[in-house]
Chains A and B, each alone.
Chain A
């Protein structure tokens, strides 16, 4: 599949931004700077980027608890993302969602999601909106090998199939649902084969190869845009860090980790792009430097941003609701803005 120079530069920049973002969080979490739980996407960059390379701002994605990469690939602001992870008032969700719920509906990012398998029904809804409004918007539904066993995923595949919804289902099989491999948890072992039972095209691809992802995604998204219905892609990939930060990772070997590190998607992208004369080493190095600077800037912004005002506790629950009723039968412990 043809790919323009601009798209290549964009893709490499997104992948590098995701890697820098996640590596920085890994370091800063260990240093005790990050509250709560973070699930890092490092290693899987080619999947989010290869898919989102074909999406417009008005297309939708649904995401997972491991959502930072999807957000960056879809164009969510890095400063707002980092501030959200720090729990700051300037965060993408004003500090109310955190790492597991970063969203930007205006960018078509319908939210990271703390519920494994929470996304496929939502993606069908976004697809239904596009279908009934007669637009050619596409929804990409990211989920993991763990969610591939959830009933909601099967229900979503079924709905998308019978209603020919413009949804592309992307199973990021990174080898582990928390600590458990699909070799144990997936009956039949073949995740992509399951989707064929719902009457849609389905392929398994090397999710560590940006170009393979880009090609499969291009066909699936074009098909959805033409109104021909859903496609399923199982992208076989690998996460470099644990399920969450702080995970001691006592469920896989160091040899296995080194093997996958040797197949690193960014390294392979560089090799291919340079070998084929598509981009120069200097161009790629410049992107690396820019990405580091952008992440430094995002961290600085997050660190310097104020914490939310306690009165924000009671806002954004509803579009409209009697504020006093949000702390019923007692005196509110924060100021109530009526």
Chain B
């Protein structure tokens, strides 16, 4: 059994894993289409050498147009309301669109189509509509891209009933969760961290689907629970390694799906360790991190041996200058300090 698993697992980057999930789902279901700004590129041109000029701004969708053509891998004008809304309308009428919103900070130019149309349509229509739409979008600071291209504001979407929100931290999770998101009949916001695209990891071959709504314990431990999201899972794992060297056993819970939230896994870990640190790259107010703290306060207070610690960026926009941006992003050092503080 072990040998079979090892044989089936090879290494891909997070970018390649997402590309593979898109390719497999597009092969499996002809109603799956991909659209967004320059998801292939140069759609004006008949010149073969221009085909797939970009394949997405960071190359995530590269190559798909060769297999599926420009009808299904569709460049859009830079009009997010128009094409995100078209994704909603297409989903309501029988397609399964994957729409790329280049950066999550661009939600401001299409938010109505997401929160007033896609998210509410099923409820407003008394359950008589399905909106099987995926919006892939980039999150994350650390790219020196400044305030409008570096947000991790997924909690905005968690706030809205009708939406599901996913934020994978590893290549395997990216593949499995994207496949699940595409097959899901509700609108899903799929958040890809731009600093993870080149990270490699084992990814199962062929069909691989991870159900939405399941957190994963990425490292087991008994002294303190560290709940983290997306790239912050890697920082939490690094912190856990350093804590281990100091004789502290940290458990790292990767939420993976932010809506629905896997409350059970989080609560079980808190009950085991009695201490909670939440690490989140999103803004600190009204966030998934504060949700996890609320969960602990309302349902696990009697198990907590210390106040909950949050490790998040400050309540500021993402800065440009490298020294400022590095100070902004939650660091493994701050996570170590927060975990140690819960231990008194």
Task: Give the B-binding residues of A (Cβ under 8 A).
Answer: 60, 62, 91-97, 101, 103-106, 110-111, 113-115, 118, 120-130, 132-133, 151-152, 155-156, 158-159, 162, 315-322, 325-326, 328-330
Closest 10 CB pairs of A and B: A125-B89, A121-B85, A155-B82, A316-B127, A93-B126, A94-B126, A122-B89, A125-B90, A319-B185, A101-B124
Closest to B131 in A: A319
Q: Across the interface, do B93 and A110 meet the contact criterion of CB distance under 8 Å?
A: yes
Q: How far is the CA of A129 from the CA of B131 in the complex (A)?
A: 13
Whether A104 touches B128, Cβ cut-off 8 Å, given contacts A60-B93, A121-B89, A329-B299, is: yes
Q: Across the interface, do B90 and A128 meet the contact criterion of CB distance under 8 Å?
A: yes
- Residues from chain A with a CB closer than 8 A to the CB of B72 are 132
Q: How far is the CA of A96 from the CA of B127 in the complex (A)?
A: 9
| Cβ distance B132 to chain A, nearest Cβ, rounded Å | 8
Task: Give the A-binding residues of B (Cβ under 8 A).
Answer: 33, 71-72, 76-77, 79, 81-95, 97, 112-113, 116-117, 121-130, 161-162, 164, 184-186, 213, 260-261, 263, 291, 294-295, 298-299
Q: Across the interface, do B82 and A326 meet the contact criterion of CB distance under 8 Å?
A: no
Q: Across the interface, do B85 and A319 meet the contact criterion of CB distance under 8 Å?
A: no
Whether A319 touches B122, Cβ cut-off 8 Å, given contacts A125-B88, A128-B89, A133-B94, is: yes
A158-B77, A159-B83 known; 8 other A-B pairs, CB under 8 Å? A105-B125, A106-B128, A118-B116, A118-B117, A121-B113, A126-B92, A133-B94, A318-B186
Q: How far is the CA of A159 from the CA of B88 in the complex (A)?
A: 14
| Cβ distance A202 to chain B, nearest Cβ, rounded Å | 18
- Residues from chain B with a CB closer than 8 A to the CB of A317 are 122-123, 161-162
Picked from B33, B81, B161, the residue with its CB within 8 Å of the CB of A151 is B81
Q: Across the interface, do B128 and A93 meet the contact criterion of CB distance under 8 Å?
A: yes
26 sample A-B contacts, Cβ–Cβ < 8 Å, listed by A number: A93-B124, A96-B125, A101-B124, A105-B93, A114-B116, A121-B113, A122-B117, A123-B89, A124-B89, A125-B90, A125-B92, A126-B90, A126-B93, A132-B33, A158-B82, A316-B122, A316-B126, A317-B122, A317-B123, A318-B162, A319-B130, A328-B261, A328-B263, A328-B291, A329-B298, A329-B299
Residue of B86, B90, B186 with most partner-chain A CB within 10 A: B86
Q: Across the interface, do A322 and B213 meet the contact criterion of CB distance under 8 Å?
A: yes
Q: Across the interface, do B263 and A325 meet the contact criterion of CB distance under 8 Å?
A: yes
Q: Across the interface, do A132 and B79 meet the contact criterion of CB distance under 8 Å?
A: no
Whether A329 touches B89, Cβ cut-off 8 Å, given contacts A97-B124, A151-B81, A317-B123, is: no
